Amino acid sequence: MDSISLQATRDRHRAEVASWKTIVAPFEKPSAGRGVWQTASTLAAYAATWALMALLQPVSWWLTIPLVVLAGGLLARVFIIFHDCCHNSLLPSARANRVLGFFTGVLVFTSFRHWRWEHSLHHASAGDLDRRGVGDVWTMTVEEFLAAPWWKRLLYRVMRNPVVLLGICPLLLFLVRERLSSRGASATARHSVWLTNLGLAVMITAGCLLFGVAPFLILQFAVLAVTSTTAVWMFYVQHQFEGVYWERHQDWEYTSAALLGSSFYKLPRILQWFSGNIGYHHVHHLSSKIPNYHLERCHRAHELFSKASVLTLKTSLRCLRFRLWDESNKRLVGFRQARLARLARQAAAAASPAGA
């Protein structure tokens, strides 16, 4: 690229940044009333659902199944409240966001300061092939997969199996992974993990005393299974879809990564409520300062957001077939394409003079 073209690209980029910052600015101001109401109503509904489960469980475990699903959905909404607190966007007060973030973090088995740190890295690197590995779903390129030893390819295949990815991994993430701090975490983040674990010990002890050890642990495990699977599924389809944006670091650009590297998951209204509008993920990645209750209005405010890929419940199921990033063609592919690439490489090697 010559100097004139490079300067033109930079000027266009600066104009785009100035444009989207002006567009989102009116939606970045949190509302104390809406934040408090959302929190109070969600927590009250969650507590009421637990109370009903406690009443019905001695009668029949079968009666608790619909309530477990409801409680799991409400806890997913609690996670969105926690998520917004991590972005300091739910309430106008930074202190209130920190306090509420800690307590909702205990409810969702996640440390506030530690997760906030890792999640900020995700926002700063989503769609960057050279900065994978923090706060994302493990995704290899076709070349990396083909060059990997057999045990790593097997491990990757197991991890990307839908049963493991959406059934086993989510629970391991919330129950085990979030109990530990990451390498490189600050002392504050590590202390946050310890305090959250202490809070969980208090919550679990109180729950066992109120409901009984076995009933509470079974119900809590089941509720968390619903929430964790929902959370991982939402995150997966919002970053692993047809036409998703991935680039090497030197070509990576924030605005494109936000609008093209995050999907618009267009859900039925009731599921949109339970998921706290996080389906407007392209808006959220463009500006994480926007509270979840302003995301839809921001999306509707400007044609800029029409660039995002739209997924529905039906079309999102197709995302399960994606396993690897084909860097040469800039698209997600399945293992079959990787196998074909391996066969083509072997055929080329056999036909070459060295292989003859």
Closest CA relative to residue 321, chosen from 300, 309, 336: 336
Can you give the pLDDT at residue 304?
A: 84
**Adjacency order of strands within the sheet including 331-333:** 140-141, 324-326, 331-333
Query: Is residue 191 in some structural domain?
Result: yes
The pLDDT value given to residue 110: 97
In this predicted structure, which of 133-137, 148-152, 285-289 has the lowest mean pLDDT?
133-137
Report the pLDDT averaged over residues 59-64. 95
Q: Can you tell me the distance from the alpha carbon of 266 to that of 309, in angstroms, rounded to the nearest whole number?
A: 10
Read off the pLDDT of each residue in 173-183 and give the average, rounded to a whole number.
Answer: 94
pLDDT tens-place string over residues 79-107: 999 999 999 999 999 999 999 999 999 99
Confidence class for position 353, pLDDT limits 50, 70, 90: low
Residue 310: strand pairing partners: 264
| Domain-embedded: residue 3 | no
Residue 180 lies in a domain: yes
* Greater model confidence, 253 or 65: 65
Span 318-337, average pLDDT = 91
Q: Does 6 or 160 have the greater pLDDT score?
A: 160
Cα 88 to Cα 120: distance, rounded to the nearest angstrom:
12
Query: What is the tally of structural domains in the chain?
Result: 1
| More confident: 276 or 133 | 276
User: Which residue, among 201, 199, 163, has the nearest Cα to 82 in the 3D structure?
Assistant: 199
Q: Please give the pLDDT value at position 6.
A: 47
Q: Where are the alpha helices (DSSP H) in 212-294?
A: 213-239, 254-260, 269-274, 281-286
- Residue 352 belongs to a domain: no
- The pTM (predicted TM-score) of the whole model is 0.90
| 162 found inside a domain | no
| Lowest pLDDT segment from 209-213, 233-237, 254-258, 319-323 | 254-258
Bigger pLDDT: 306 vs 294: 294
Distance CA 23, CA 289 (A): 13
Element (DSSP H or E) covering residue 332: strand 331-333
Record the tokens describing residue 27, joined without a space: 């939606």
Query: Per the domain annotation, does 218 fall within a domain?
Result: yes
Domain membership of residue 222 (yes or no) is: yes
Tell me if 339 is assigned to some domain: no
Domain that holds residue 261: 31-134+169-314
Q: What angle do CA 120, 225, 46 make, to 5 degrees?
A: 85
